[in-house]
């Protein structure tokens, strides 16, 4: 008998963990006013998606999903850099990191 | 201790530290809890035999991106009074919205759980090893790989342009 890939717990458990992490990230984005914490919650949501992709990749024995996770990490790094530099610029202009500060923008 | 028990403990610890990221009042504590969450996720990757991604997750996420967040937090010189307050109304609405999102996704995927039992698993043990991923990355996914380097250059130039201090105009 051929040996199957072992992912530890059942597939349902990993789907549950991933959905829970994604929802926690979404709640964080909706509640927190601090811009840095907001960016961190976006990273949390991206990681939830990564976890789900790796789980299915191992479950079905297909490595291509892990390439997608690699690209998601690349995009997350670029996004964090740009987000933090926008944050620094906003802080210099208004001396606050409240997300409500962007309400003053009108264009 | 069985493998199943380890992964259940890891999963619940991941959810707990993810909750602490949102709940903790101080931003630096949020960063530390997020790093802990990433380490737990890396441990789950190792458990699922995805060694390459576990190491990349630890180096790039917990090492580079989180240190960038910490540096920005330290540079901004924040104090307690500057922490923006969350109104009770927005907290209430957000928890309801997030909880509904959670419930909808769980119920939508409940059917998938049953369908998933019909699938036959493919017996490939080393899908997540560096050799397999490298072969895929440099043959089938070579063009996206090169494009991602252009994305990095654009992000780097953008970050330098945005965060550069403008010259003071003395009039």
Hey, are the CB atoms on B50 and A66 less than 8 Å from each other?
Answer: yes
User: Three-state DSSP class for A32?
Assistant: coil
Close Cβ partners of B11 (under 8 Å, ≥ 6 residues apart)? A9, A13, A14, A16, A17, B44
pLDDT at residue number B101: 92
Q: For the packed helices A64-94 and B66-76, what is the interaxial angle rounded to 10 degrees?
A: 10
Return the top range by mean pLDDT from A51-60, B10-19, B116-125.
B10-19
Distance of CA B90 to the CA centre of its chain: 25
- Report the CATH number at residue A97: 1.10.287.3510
Q: CB-based contact (8 Å) between B98 and chain A?
A: yes
Q: Which residues of A touch B151 (CB under 8 A)?
A: 74-75, 78
Instruction: Establish if A29 belongs to a structural domain.
Output: yes
pLDDT at residue number B112: 66
Distance of CA A48 to the CA centre of its chain: 6
Q: Which residues of B touch A56 (CB under 8 A)?
A: none
**What is the extent of the structural domain holding A45?**
11-104
As a whole number, mean pLDDT of residues B123-133 equals 73
SS (H, E, C) chain B: CCHHHHHHHHHHHHHHHHHHHHHCCCHHHHHHHHHHHHHHHHHHHHHCCCHHHHHHHHHHHHHHHHHHHHHHHHHHCCCHHHCCCCCHHHHHHHHHHHHHHHHHHHHHHHHHHHHHCCCCCCCCCCCCCHHHHHHHHCCCCHHHHHHHHHHHHHHHHHHHHHHCCCCCCCC
Higher pLDDT residue, B127 or B154? B154
pTM beyond 0.80: the answer is: yes
Burial class (CB in 10 A: 0-12, 13-18, 19+), B74: exposed
b/e map A48-58, b = 16+ CB within 10 Å: bbbbbbbbbbb
Residue position matching structure tokens 């009108």: A106
Instruction: Establish if A2 belongs to a structural domain.
Output: no
Hey, are the CB atoms on B57 and A50 less than 8 Å from each other?
Answer: yes
pLDDT at residue number A96: 81
A64 near A57, Cβ under 8 Å? yes
pLDDT at residue number A2: 47
As a whole number, mean pLDDT of residues B84-104 equals 88
Burial class (CB in 10 A: 0-12, 13-18, 19+), B57: buried
Hey, are the CB atoms on A54 and B47 less than 8 Å from each other?
Answer: no
Q: Of B12-16, B153-157, B160-164, where does mean pLDDT reach its minimum?
A: B160-164
Instruction: Establish if A47 belongs to a structural domain.
Output: yes
Instruction: Establish if A1 belongs to a structural domain.
Output: no
Label residue B167 by pLDDT band (50, 70, 90): low
Using CA atoms, how far apart are residues B86 and B114, in angstroms rounded to an integer? 41
Rounded alpha-carbon distances, angstroms, from residue B63 to A1, A50, B18, B55: 42, 17, 18, 10
Label residue B5 by pLDDT band (50, 70, 90): confident
Task: Let me know the angle formed at the C-alpha of A52 by B103 and B42, rounded to the nearest 5 degrees.
Answer: 120
User: Three-state DSSP class for A102?
Assistant: helix
Instruction: List chain A residues with pLDDT less than 50.
Output: 1-2
Of B11, B50, B75, the CB nearest to A58: B50
Using CA atoms, how far apart are residues A69 and B137, in angstroms rounded to an integer? 12
Instruction: Establish if A87 belongs to a structural domain.
Output: yes
pLDDT at residue number B31: 93
Compute the nearest-CA separation of B18 from chain A (Å): 7
pLDDT at residue number A1: 39
Instruction: Establish if A4 belongs to a structural domain.
Output: no
Q: How many domains does chain A have?
A: 1
Chain B residues 38-57 with CB within 8 Å of chain A: 38, 41, 44-45, 47-50, 52-53, 56-57
As a whole number, mean pLDDT of residues B67-92 equals 82
Q: Which residues of A touch B109 (CB under 8 A)?
A: 15, 19
Return mean pLDDT, chain B.
Answer: 85
| ipTM for the predicted complex | 0.89
By C-alpha distance, the chain A residue nearest B151 is: A78
Q: Which residues of B touch A40 (CB under 8 A)?
A: 21, 30-31, 34, 69
């Amino acid at each position: 008998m051929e040996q199957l890939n072992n992912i530890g717990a059942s597939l349902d458990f990993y789907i549950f963990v991933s959905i829970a992490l994604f929802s926690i990230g979404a709640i964080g984005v909706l509640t927190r006013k601090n811009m840095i914490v907001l960016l961190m919650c976006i990273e949390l949501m991206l990681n939830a998606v990564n976890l789900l992709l790796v789980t299915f990749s191992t479950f079905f024995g297909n490595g291509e999903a892990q390439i997608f996770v690699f690209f998601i990490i690349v995009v997350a790094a670029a996004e964090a850099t740009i987000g933090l530099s926008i944050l620094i610029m906003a802080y210099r202009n208004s001396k606050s990191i409240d997300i409500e500060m962007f309400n003053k923008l009108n264009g | 201790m069985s493998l199943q028990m380890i992964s259940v403990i890891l999963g619940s610890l991941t959810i707990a530290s993810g909750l602490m990221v949102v709940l903790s009042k101080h931003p630096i504590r949020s960063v530390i809890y997020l790093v802990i969450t990433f380490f737990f996720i890396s441990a789950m990757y190792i458990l699922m035999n995805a060694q390459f991604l576990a190491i990349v997750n630890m180096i790039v996420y917990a090492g580079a991106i989180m240190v960038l967040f910490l540096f920005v937090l330290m540079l901004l010189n924040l104090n307690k009074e500057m922490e923006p307050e969350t109104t009770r109304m927005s907290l209430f609405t957000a928890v309801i919205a997030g909880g509904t999102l959670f419930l909808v996704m769980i119920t939508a995927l409940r059917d998938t759980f049953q369908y998933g039992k019909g699938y036959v698993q493919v017996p490939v043990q080393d899908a997540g090893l560096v050799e397999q991923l490298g072969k895929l990355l440099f043959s089938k996914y070579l063009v996206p790989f090169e494009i991602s380097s252009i994305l990095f250059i654009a992000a780097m130039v953008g970050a330098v342009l945005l965060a550069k201090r403008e010259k003071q105009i003395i009039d």
